[in-house]
A and B are shown apart, each in its own frame.
Chain A
Amino acid sequence: MDYDFTETEFLLVIEIERLTKELLSNRPSGNTAAMVQPALKALARTPYLRLGLEPVPGLNGLATLTAAIEVLASLEPSLCLAIEASTRVFGRMLAAWASPDQKARWLGPLRDGNLIGAIALSEDALNVENDPMQTCGKMDGDRVSIRGRKQWVVNGPIADAVAVVGTLEGRTVVFVVDAATEGLTQGPPLETLGFDGTPFCSLELDNCRINADQIIDPAPTAAIEALRLWENQVLSGISLGLMKTGFEAAKDHAKTHRSGGKPVIAYQQVGFKLAEMLTLYQSAQLLAYRAAWTADNTPKQAPGLALCAKVFATESAEQVTGAALQILAGAGLDRDHRVARAWRCAKYGQIAGTSTEIARVMIGDEALGTERSG
């Protein structure tokens, strides 16, 4: 693994940053959800939307992607989560398992920035790893009727197509349901602790009927494990962005805010705290990049390393943003301060994807050489 990005990769990351700042300068007040489509269209002009879906010459796949997610998330985490849920989870599901016709129908428009996707995986019990999935389909000729309930669906309120994970005749499959399909009902938008600009809702499926050619069958792949891996990779990258926000804001404040005749960074209580923050941030960054590179190059090692990176990055994000708030003192108490927002967002990463607790059990099981247990 090279421990440096190429000039091409740096230029891509710089372009993502520029595009995002431009989008944010034109943001409709308080409405991040309305920015998702314009953002996807703008990003489609770069290779960004294709990373992880297909090889992109000159770019280092998931490692480049992680750096790009980091920058995007540092500027607007809510927008980043919405974009990534659509592109990297819904999109990668299509890239990995969809038939050519299905790819033409959904993946093509997604790559062009013309489609917003959502993955509906979690149910009332949240951890579908532990509890049997309730959402199921029943064949009826060349159609399938789906019933079930999904929770915490990112992009649920705005998606053009929702990939509903459920069971069909004993197999785990993905039902791709177009937004206006009868029998699919959205719950009210959720108000969340963090990512308050990302559209979340629950979905109810009651005799929701789709054509059989809208079923994606990932067998023999372990579908849920793959979806969780992709989610974990996104959450690791976003956590890096939150740490970037926290560290840079705290550093700038510490260098300019004076107390007792000197900038507060001169006090060890502040300077040493910044050193610890940077240490966590850089350590998490390198581990996330390495996990991403490993996923592309030695995929067998990917799941365990991705879990290590996800646990470390998401937990570090809460610590770093919390320490940043401490350094900002009164300035950070403003609810809309970007560091306060980053701190509120940080909690999500430890719960979403593979939760921190389940991740540690899985890492432990891998060390023990055992199959996953309760």
Chain B
Amino acid sequence: MLNGNKMFITNGPIADVAVVYAKTAPELKHAGISAFIVEKGTPGFSAGPNIIKMGVCTSQTSELILNDCVIPADNLLGKEGDGFAMSLQTVEWDRSALLAPFVGAATYMLKRCAAYANARVQFGRRIGQFQATKNKLANIRIFGEAARTLVYRIAWCKDQGRPLNHLEAAVAKLFVGDWSMGPANDAMVLHGGYGYCHEYDMERIFRDSRLAPIGGGTSDIQKMIISKLI
């Protein structure tokens, strides 16, 4: 029987099945956490409404509520007490593959901003001819290239079968998190007033970028990890 609440669960409102981590032996601390499969429709298991977020709106997020939720013993994933180790493997994806969308966003921003700068005319010139515009394009590209290399390194290490290097992953997450908002801001400002409008998607990217230093472990958490590991 499971009781408790989980928060900020991606796909919460639409998931057919959830993996729920729960304390089965609290006195054992991390070693007393186990993982369970809970299917949609199980009595006592429900999802809250979609949380309206600032960005990444297409991805639905909600609370999951477990209220005297009884599941078969067979729904235990792995062995009792294995839950924490499994959750660390989940974190591996948070701090590796899930950084890739932010790299993709940088690539997209660069293309869109270059196209806009080549088309938009102000003061008798294409705005791409102003150094301030070139500066912004350069900053977007520099961030994108640095982030890409960090993310690809982690992906390459995974392909080599190496366990996640937590220091390298934290560095990558911190960089993508803390340094992505500057280029997103530049992309929005480059578009001028249109950058502030829904019709042009730069404002969406700006709002989406705000997730980077929060989701998958906040930047402060990454800094704690890094400062402990060095």
Contacts and interface: CB of A to CB of B under 8 A. Distances in A.
Interface of A: 1-3, 251, 265, 268, 271-272, 274-276, 278-280, 282-284, 286-287, 289-290, 304-305, 308-309, 311-312, 357, 359-361, 363-365, 367-370, 373
B149 to A, nearest CB: 4
Contact of A276 (B139, B142, B157, B223): B223
B142 A279 contact: no
A368 B149 contact: no
B174 A3 contact: no
A360 B146 contact: no
Interface centre among A304, A312, A360, A365 (most CB of B within 10 A): A360
Interface of B: 110, 113-114, 117-118, 128-129, 131, 133-142, 145-147, 149-150, 152-153, 156-157, 168, 170-171, 174-175, 178, 220, 222-224, 226-228, 230
B174 A368 contact: no
Contact of A368 (B137, B157, B222, B226): B137
A336 B5 CA distance: 58
6 contacts: A274-B227, A283-B150, A309-B145, A363-B137, A363-B142, A368-B118
B158 to A, nearest CB: 11
A38 B222 CA distance: 45
A308 B145 contact: yes
A367 B156 contact: no
B134 A312 contact: no
A304 B92 CA distance: 32
Given A275-B227, A282-B168, A286-B153, A364 B137 contact: yes
A251 B227 CA distance: 9
Given A271-B223, A272-B220, A284-B146, A364 B230 contact: no
Contact of A360 (B117, B135, B168, B223): B135
Contacts of B118: 368-370
Contacts of A305: 145
A363 B226 contact: no
Contacts of B230: 251, 274-275, 278
A3 B137 contact: no
Given A363-B137, A373-B129, A275 B146 contact: no
Contact of A272 (B128, B153, B156, B223): B223
Contacts of A283: 146-147, 149-150, 171, 175
Given A272-B227, A369-B118, A370-B128, A364 B150 contact: no
Nearest to B174: A279
Contacts of B136: 364
B227 A265 contact: yes
B138 A311 contact: yes
Interface centre among B133, B145, B152, B222 (most CB of A within 10 A): B145
A364 B146 contact: no
Given A284-B146, A308-B145, A373-B129, A279 B138 contact: no
Contacts of A363: 134, 137-138, 141-142
Contacts of A276: 174, 178, 223
Contacts of A272: 220, 223-224, 227
Closest CB pairs A-B (n = 7): A364-B134, A271-B227, A275-B226, A363-B138, A360-B138, A275-B223, A364-B137
Given A274-B226, A363-B138, A363-B141, A286 B146 contact: yes
Given A272-B220, A284-B146, A312-B142, A365 B134 contact: yes
Given A367-B110, A367-B114, A361 B174 contact: no
A284 B113 CA distance: 24
Contacts of A3: 152-153, 156-157
